[in-house]
Amino acid sequence: MAITRLGGANAITGTIPTSVAPGKGKILQVVETTKTDTFSSSTAGSFTDITGMSATITPSSTSSKILVLLNINSDGGNNSHIRLVRGSTAIGIGDAASSRSRVSGGAARNSTSANNMANNGISFLDSPSSTSATTYKVQFYLWSSESWYLNRSDSDGNDGYGGRSASTITLMEIAG
């Protein structure tokens, strides 16, 4: 894109590099799923979909990037992890290392009280290179058969100490 400033001794002419051309980096659309009900599981040794924690976006260009923001409130399940999945492909995960799980983040247990939840925030900038409807979902992994809870505490006491929360998955299409 050419630029020109007319008039005066300080006239400017030149070209703006395409890497900073107008439009790149703009948020084109936002899709969010909010899960307000609870979810629990004691399935150990495999990744399990969290029911209701998915969102679908249709990018407008193959050069678009998708910023995925997760806000997970959970408790229970020592050695539990979260994994972000696009379609059937795990994304935003660590490198392979022996028999360690490749995950996007921890699903921390609140160790101070059975009445509290821990908040886990995860973000990842994805490049799906597609203009087809693309679904992102959240999975969790338990090492042992303890129970893991979403949007509630381990005890889930019916009193002022107990709390219920919401968890979200937000997708933002960023112009590329």
Mean pLDDT, residues 157-165 taken together: 80
Decide if pLDDT at 38 tops 60.
yes
* Residue matched to tokens 């409807």: 133
Q: For strand 39-41 and strand 134-142, is the pairing parallel, antiparallel, or unpaired?
A: unpaired
What is the distance between the terminal CA atoms of the chain, rounded to a whole angstrom? 16
pLDDT of residue 161: 73
Model pLDDT for residues 112-143, shown as the tens digit of each residue: 667 778 888 999 999 999 999 999 999 988 88
pTM of the model: 0.82
Joined tokens for residue 5: 């400033």
Joined tokens for residue 160: 């002022």
DSSP state for residue 98 in the 8-state scheme: T
- Domain positions in the chain are 22-174
Burial of 25 (0-12, 13-18, 19+ CB in 10 A): exposed
CATH T-level assignment (fold) for domain 22-174: Jelly Rolls (2.60.120)
Are 33 and 169 contacting, i.e. CB atoms less than 8 angstroms apart? Answer: yes
DSSP state for residue 94 in the 8-state scheme: P
Model pLDDT for residues 54-113, shown as the tens digit of each residue: 999 999 999 999 999 999 998 876 778 889 999 999 999 889 898 888 888 876 665 666
Are 134 and 64 contacting, i.e. CB atoms less than 8 angstroms apart? Answer: no
Task: Residue 115: name the closest of 167, 71, 160 by CA.
Answer: 160
pLDDT of residue 108: 62
